[in-house]
Chain A
Amino acid sequence: DQQVKQNSPSLSVQEGRISILNCDYTNSMFDYFLWYKKYPAEGPTFLISISSIKDKNEDGRFTVFLNKSAKHLSLHIVPSQPGDSAVYFCAASGSGSARQLTFGSGTQLTVLP
């Protein structure tokens, strides 16, 4: 039972345009959401996060939107750059002291020059 789902395994976008990566979750106890970027054979790098008390968080070219009623979040990258090409993982964390992350299966983003 996948609690965090990224239904698009891949996405291609032209350089300079917007990239939108989507993520859905099923567990209503999740209250903190993160996006990670990963290159092959490297560890994931933290990009941006959002708490369930917010519906938007912005950091430079990256914006994360959270729709709690739909249990959906998205990552917007504007403008997209070739260096953004990587696998993007959505992750969610619940309350409690353990707070381990549950990850989606990832979306491979390719930004075309």
Chain B
Amino acid sequence: DGGITQSPKYLFRKEGQNVTLSCEQNLNHDAMYWYRQDPGQGLRLIYYSQIVNDFQKGDIAEGYSVSREKKESFPLTVTSAQKNPTAFYLCASRPQWPSGNTIYFGEGSWLTVV
């Protein structure tokens, strides 16, 4: 059953704590992405990775970090430096250009700071 799995679905974080959101895909896609959605807004790109051991900052990378040690995995760490971390986080993947143009998403993770 191929797809993108994000965990946990819901996560609560105390202020000052780092948390890591997991993203695993078994689609054999090369590129992976992290987006953030806030209420009433579109999806904004946090980080992306086109290949293992390489990743690039997106539009709103401050306060976040990622790693890409395996093709299947692209975890996102929300650090204490992120001033407003409460949001819905979406992981996505895509075959490497020119194999495909469509990005596919996981089910998302809700992060709430308490």
Contacts and interface: CB of A to CB of B under 8 A. Distances in A.
Interface of A: 4, 6, 9, 32, 34, 36, 41-46, 49, 51, 89, 91, 93, 96-106
Given A41-B110, A43-B108, A89-B43, A101 B103 contact: yes
A51 B102 CA distance: 11
A44 B101 CA distance: 15
The 9 closest A-B pairs by CB, nearest first: A43-B105, A103-B42, A105-B42, A103-B43, A43-B107, A44-B105, A43-B108, A32-B101, A97-B97
A35 B31 CA distance: 20
A66 to B, nearest CB: 14
Given A101-B45, A103-B42, A103-B44, 10 more contacts: A6-B42, A34-B101, A41-B110, A43-B107, A45-B105, A91-B103, A96-B97, A99-B31, A100-B45, A105-B41
